[in-house]
């Protein structure tokens, strides 16, 4: 992955996205007692998803900078 000055992953508005393992997905779903489809979504055509090459059905972990908490974790399911 080339990270030029004009890479969107380096943009200050873009938080870190990371595809997580199957085991971590299970842990997450168990923790909140939800199904995969109930997670917030992110599109396959999303610029960041294209950049990190995630696939439909993957869950991405997003490490956001939060105004109130300092750091917060969020998850999105990749959809078509």
Partner 1 sequence: MPEEKEGVAEELMKSGVEEEIAELIKEEFMQAELTVDFEELSDMQIEEAYVEDILVMLGREEEGEVKLGDIELKVNKSEMPEKIKDELKKKLKVVRRKLSSENLDEILGKIAEKYEKAQVEPREAVGIVAAQSIGEPGTQMTMRTFHYAGVGAIYITQGLPRIIEIVDARKNLSTPTMRIKLMEECALERNKAEELAVKIKETHIGDIGKIEASTEDMSLWLSLNERELEKRHIKKEDLEEKVKGIGTDVLVEGVEDGKLRIHGNNKFRLTEFEKKVSNLLVKGIEGIKRVLVRRDPDGEYVLYTVGSELKKLKNQKIEGVDFGRTTTNNIAEIADVLGIEAARNAIIDEMMSTLEEQGLDVDARHITLIADAMTMDGEVKQIGRHGIAGEKSSVLSRAAFEVTVDNLLEAAIHGETDGLRGVTENVIVGQPIRLGTGAIDLVARK
Please report, as ranges, the residues that interact with partner 1 according to CB under 8 A. Answer: 4-6, 8, 10-15, 17, 40-43, 46-49, 62, 64, 66-72, 76, 79
d(CA 62, CA 17): 5
Nearest to 17 by CA among 63, 54, 51: 63
Residue 1 CB, shortest distance to partner 1, in Å, is 15
Instruction: Work out how close the CB of 40 gets to partner 1 at its nearest, in angstroms, rounded to a whole number.
Output: 5
Whole-number Å distance between alpha carbons of 36 and 24: 12
Report the residue number, 12 or 30, with the smaller CB distance to partner 1.
12
């Amino acid at each position: 992955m080339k990270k030029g000055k004009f890479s969107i992953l380096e943009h200050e508005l873009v938080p870190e996205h990371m595809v997580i393992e199957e085991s971590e997905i299970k842990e997450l779903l168990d923790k909140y007692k939800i199904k995969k489809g109930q997670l917030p979504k992110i599109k396959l055509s999303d610029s960041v998803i294209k950049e990190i090459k995630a696939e439909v059905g993957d869950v991405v972990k997003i490490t956001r900078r939060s105004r109130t908490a300092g750091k917060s974790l969020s998850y999105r399911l990749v959809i078509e």
